[in-house]
Amino acid sequence: MKAIKIFFLFVTILEIATSSYASDNSKSKNKKSRKSEKLRRLPPPVNMHPQQAKGRSQQSQAQTLQQAQAQTLQQVIQKSKREHEEQQQFEKILKHTREKSEREYKEQQEQAQKQEQAQKQEQAQKQQQAQKQQQAQKQQQAQKQEQAQKQQQAQAQTLQQVIQQSKREYEEQQLAQVQTQQTDAPFFKTAIFGGSKKKFWEKNDSNMSKIIPWNTFEAEKRKAQNLFRDCSLESNQGQNKMFVRIPGFNDGSCLWSHLGIAPEDMINIMISCVFTLSKNFEDPQSRGDFFQEVFEIIDVLDPSGKLTSQKASNIMQKGSKDDAGLDIAKQFNLLKDNIFQLCKSWSSAVEKHGGRMVETAQAVTAFRPPNGSTFFQEVSQHLKVNIEIFTGKIAKGSLPSPITSSRVFKCQGAQHWLYLLQDSEELGTHYDVLLEKGKPVSKAIIEEMNSFLNK
């Protein structure tokens, strides 16, 4: 851009100089013509002979003309010389300006080339650096991938070793369990129940520890496939678990068999239950929470109402709840005072009738364990196992539906669980036992199942 501006400046100066030179020439010619005109108009000399005067006048005019011409020529020469010098000076200036412009243009071109070369070098350096960085990143990524692969391979090897070790340990443990189980049968008691001998395999910690693998149970289950049903139930802890339902006896002995507690031991549990209820029932603030359980225990241990003056169910129909509560409290005190005598009578009735329904003069009753939470908590402590009871409608040959709730009774330090399913339509008189799918099965439950199948 700077070179172009200098070129236009040079052209402008040249045009100005040319126009000035033409103007000066025109002015010089005009001056010469005016001077010749003045010389021609001069008057002739006086007092001379006309011819002399004329000759002298002509001579004078000729001299004047010569002088004027000489002066004019001299002026023209000087002016031409001056103009020539000016022209030379102008040409020098023009040459200097052109040379300067050319030099500056060359310098600009050289500087532009240098800048372009510098930019190219800088770009080349940046590209080289970028290539080096990319190569370094690729090398790092390759190293990381290689390290990750090595770590994965090491982890896979370690995991494989752990799996193999766990598998060996599991197989050894299973073998040891099978060997132990083959020589370790569950403990049972025999008692007179309903007029005949009956075996009771108590589901305590010891018997629940004596197990068989699940696949062994599956083989046994296939022999009576139509009696067992799979069901998915949600526990009290919010977990869905798959169970196999094993039906219980229909003669009123289902809960007796599932718990496996012999009558002589059941009496001790009932006595503990009465005294525990007594402590809770004496507190006015908590009495209402245990009202139903107290009513039930009176009905279970003294269904005829011989020792408690009247049957609790009749008192409930008399009047208000407060009056009935006072009467039941009195009856419960009588029950507690005569607990040993009542338990002896109850035990005799169990030996005679078992869990069957019996019609008496007052009502129809059955000698079965109660369903209250206090009772099952006492059972959990006696067995040293945890108990979870699901409640729902049990249709024969189908899944339980719907499951309305579950109750959990825990014993501190217990490792085993006993799962029961209570029929909501039987008012707690019928229970089935549940086995968690895929888990080892207690031999005591297997013995009870075989007893149910008459094996």
Q: Name the average pLDDT for the chain.
A: 80
How far is residue 124's CA from residue 131's CA, in Å, rounded to a whole number? 10
- pTM of whole model > 0.75? no
Q: How many CB atoms lie within 10 A of CB 293?
A: 20
Give the count of alpha carbons within 13 A of 138, CB side only.
6
CA distance 311 to 314: 6
Question: What residue segments make up the domains of the chain, in order of their start?
Answer: 2-121, 199-452
pLDDT at 167: 74
Query: DSSP per residue over 69-96, as a string?
Result: HHHHHHHHHHHHHHHHHHHHHHHHHHHH
Question: What are the tens digits of pLDDT across the range 170-225?
Answer: 666 665 555 554 457 889 999 999 999 999 999 999 999 999 999 998 887 776 66
**What is the C-alpha to C-alpha distance for residues 362 and 314, in angstroms, rounded to an integer?**
10
CA 315 – CA 326 distance, rounded (Å) = 10
Give the pLDDT confidence score for residue 297 in this predicted structure.
92
Distance, in Å, from the CA atom of 293 to the CA atom of 428, rounded to the nearest integer, reads 13
Written as one letter, the residue type at 199 is K
For the chain, the distance separating the N- and C-terminal CA atoms, rounded to the nearest angstrom, is 116
pLDDT of residue 11: 54
Q: What secondary structure letter does DSSP report for 285?
A: T
Phi, psi of 379 (to 5 degrees): -65, -45
Which tens digits make up the pLDDT trace of 367-421?
A: 889 999 999 999 999 999 999 999 877 655 555 555 656 899 999 999 999 999 9
Q: What share of the chain is helix, strand, coil (3-state, %, to 5)?
A: 65, 15, 20
Question: Considering only CA atoms, which of 339, 350, 349 is closest in space to residue 200?
Answer: 350
Q: What is the arithmetic mean of pLDDT over 313-341? A: 70
Provide the pLDDT for residue 319.
46
- Given the structure tokens 């009467």, which residue do they identify? 327
Average confidence (pLDDT) over 325-347? 86
